[in-house]
Amino acid sequence: MVVAALLLGLSSTAGFGPLLTVTLVLALLFAWSWPVLGGSFTPVTTTLVLLAAAPGIVLTAFHDDLRWTAAAVAFGIVLAFMAQLARRTGREGLVLTLLASFGGLLPMASATLAVTAGDESRGRAYLVVTMAAAAAAVVADLLVGSRRFGPLLGLVALAAAIVGGVVAALVLDEFGAWAAVGVAAAAGSLSWSFRRVLALQPAMLGLRGQVAAGVGSVLILGVVVRLFLLVS
């Protein structure tokens, strides 16, 4: 998760092209790893659906207005349904499998919302602060086994995220500390919550499940960057 956050944060400082490339690579990695964690009864088929949909979704960022993003997500949804119609193993777990597909499309679409931020300095600053906050929130993950901090993990993640985000904002000096607090709090809470709700999934014992949780908790933060960029 920390590696994914660092890659996105650093690539954003290099501009739109590197940010788009890293986002696409992470989306493809997420497409490969997510189906086992999402609970798909046909993980191979779901993987193929997400791998086919990922480039279409991320590359819609070439249009600043993201007018084709919704259409690309809709294409992924259609693929998910068509894949299930082609199943020869019955309809066991049909709803869960479709939900796994839809759940995999969401972080990709969210990440795409942030890619256009690479075109302007303020957007890049928001992205760096978001990724710094998410990486700092990992502190709470390291305390999961502690009885003392167990009930307070959410607050620990929030506090660590705010500290990490504010420090990054002060280094960049692109916007005020209070704005950084808002961005960091939203990013850290969302990222940590994404991993936390999936923590007890059996697939978290394997590599693919852990990769999906880590990368997904970074990709999902694109909506935070886009939201704060629009209201600022």
Residue 121: predicted pLDDT? 84
Encoded amino acid at 213, one letter: A
Can you read off the two tokens belonging to residue 3? Answer: 């590696």
User: Is the distance from CB of 117 to CB of 130 less than 8 angstroms?
Assistant: no
Separation CA 66–CA 54 (nearest Å): 15
Count up the domains in the chain and report the number.
Answer: 1
- Of 43, 1, 31, 52, the closest CA to residue 194 belongs to 1
Helix (H, G, I), strand (E, B) or coil at 187: helix
Residue 93: predicted pLDDT? 82
Helix (H, G, I), strand (E, B) or coil at 18: helix
Residue 103: predicted pLDDT? 93
**Extended strands (E) in the chain:** none
Each residue's pLDDT expressed in tens, for the chain with a length of 232 residues: 999 999 999 999 888 899 999 999 999 999 999 999 998 999 999 999 999 999 999 999 998 888 899 999 999 999 999 998 888 777 788 889 999 999 999 999 999 999 988 888 888 899 999 999 999 999 998 888 777 767 788 899 999 999 999 999 988 877 777 888 999 999 999 999 999 999 889 999 999 999 999 999 999 999 999 998 888 7
Angle between helix 153-172 and helix 177-197 axes, rounded to 10 deg: 140
- Of 164, 141, 163, 162, the closest CA to residue 153 belongs to 141
User: Is the distance from CB of 19 to CB of 7 less than 8 angstroms?
Assistant: no
Residue 147: predicted pLDDT? 72
Separation CA 177–CA 166 (nearest Å): 6
Domain carrying residue 81: 2-231
Encoded amino acid at 108, one letter: M
Separation CA 119–CA 14 (nearest Å): 10
